[in-house]
Amino acid sequence: MKIAFVGTGVMGKSMAGHLLKAGHEVVVYTRTKAKAAELLAAGARWADSPAEAARGADAAISMVGYPNDVEEVWRSFRSTARPGCLLIDMTTSSPGLARQLAAAATAQGCRPLDAPVSGGDRGAREATLTIMVGGTAADYELARPLFEAMGKTISLQGGPGAGQLCKLANQIAIASGMVAMAEALAFARANGLDLEAVLKALSGGGASSWALSNLAPRVLKGDFAPGFYVKHFVKDIGLSLDVCREQGLRLPGLELAAKLYADVIAAGDGDCGTQALAKRYFAANG
C-alpha cells in the first residue's frame, strides 16, 4: 500500500519504520524534517505537507500531539485524499472530535478509523503496541495488516470514537498506576531500603504493574527522558475528565492524578517522561 504518515516523533518514527519494513511505500511529513531523517534514509519519501503526502495514498495516518493538530492534519488529508482512502488517526484525541471527523470523511467517500495506541516508545520500537480501534468492521479489516505491522494487541472497540474512549480508559488506569509506582518508591526510599531490591520484590508479586516493570527502572537510573511526554499525558487526563463531566462521572483517583501531574508541569518537567512524577514525590519527601 501507499501510506501517508504524518508525525514522526518519539513513537511515530518507529511506527512508520515498521510499515516501511513490511514493504509498504511510505510518504512522511512532520513539522521538523530532521525528525524524519532516519526514515528518509531507510527509503521513505518526503512530502511538504499532509495534503501532498495523502495525494494518491491508500491510507493516510496521523500520529500527532493534540486534538487541534489532528483536526488540522485531517483537513489537509481530506483536501487531496481519493475516495476509498483509509484515514487513520493514531493520536490520543477527543472521542467527540473523532466522531465529527469520521462523519466528514465518510461523507467524502473516505474510510475513517480512530486507532490510538498504548505502549510508549518501547512498544513502538518493538512493534508490540496495543491498538484500540473505532470505526466500521469492514474498514478495520482493511486496515488490520497495517496495524499488525505496528502492534501486537489489536481490537475493534465499536463505532467512530470508541477507540478513543477505550484509550482514555487505558490512560485512567495508567494514571492511578503511576501514582502507585511513585508512592511505593518514595515510601521505600524514605525508609532507607535498597530500591533495586524493592523493585525486584514488587515486580514479582501482586503489586506488579506496567509502570513498575517499565518505568520504575528508569527512575532508579535518574532517567526521565520521554517515552511518553508528561505534557501529552496531561492532555489525555484532561480529555478523560471532559468525558467524565459530560457523563456526570466522578473518578477521584483520576482527579488526584490530574492535580499531581499539574504540579509536575508547574515544576518545568512537561517535556519529561511520565515517570517524572516520582521526582515530585522524592523532592517533597527529601
Number of helices (H), then strands (E), in the chain: 14, 9
CA 198 to the chain's CA centroid: 29
Q: Is 212 helix (H, G, I), strand (E, B) or coil?
A: helix
Whether the Cβ atoms of residue 19 and residue 28 lie closer than 8 Å to each other? no
Query: Is position 167 annotated as part of the catalytic site?
Result: yes
Read off the DSSP letter of residue 98: H
Distance from C-alpha of 74 to C-alpha of 100, rounded to nearest angstrom: 11
Output the nine-digit C-alpha cell for 222.
535518574
Angle between helices 95-107 and 67-80 (to 10 degrees): 10
∠ at Cα 138 (65, 2), nearest 5°?
Answer: 55
Distance from C-alpha of 170 to C-alpha of 237, rounded to nearest angstrom: 10
- Between strands 117-118 and 129-134, the pairing is antiparallel
Given 2, 21, 33, 167, which residue is catalytic?
167
Active site residues: 167
